[in-house]
Amino acid sequence: MRKRPEKVVEVLDFIFGRLGNHNAGAQVAAIGLFPVTSFAHHSVPFLDPAMYAKFFFPYFEKIARPVAEAGGTLFLRSEGDSSYAFEFYKDYLKQSFLYLLENEDPMQIHKVMGDDHTYMGGMTTEQLKYGTSQECIDSAERVLTSLAQAADSCLQ
């Protein structure tokens, strides 16, 4: 990516051109009630913001935006810490995202995204596995207290 970014973009354009979005918005609108499209956010911890803006987000947008505009819900499952990426999503339609956070601080994400989307998370898997009961209780109380004003937020 760093040595030949133009080649990466060429390949991404080729792949996306072959796959296309197959009119994702119309498909979601036809499904009806609670269409959910799931996206893994695995690549984010490995990309800096400039690379994310160039190599990931434009292609994600081609699928995600029509789904959101058709009333679909986008389930975004984060891996690692993808906090910086949330700046890219703050202009999406209200309640179009359901975020499963891993290492991100839900309070920081809430500051960026506001009450317009639903968040799950607040405790890392490491904390649940290795933390004391009291540490986990304290963490849960901190998340619930901090996000209490955000009616659409929830704790995993």
Residue 96 domain flag: yes
Residue 39 domain flag: yes
Residue 25 domain flag: yes
Q: How many domains does the chain have?
A: 1
Q: List average pLDDT for each run of 10 residues in the chain, which is 156 residues long.
A: 85 72 60 61 79 87 80 80 83 77 79 78 82 90 72 49
Helix (H) or strand (E) holding 9: helix 5-19
Characterise 95 by phi-psi region: left (phi > 0), alpha (psi -120 to 50), beta (else). left
- Residues 36 and 38: their CA atoms lie apart, in Å, by 6
Check residue 155 and give its pLDDT: 46
Residue 7 domain flag: no
Check residue 133 and give its pLDDT: 93
Residue 112: domain span: 21-146
Q: What is the 3-state secondary structure (H, E, C) of 129-154?
A: HHCCHHHHHHHHHHHHHHCCCCCCCC
Let me know: does 59 contact 104? Beta carbons within 8 Å: no
Check residue 134 and give its pLDDT: 94
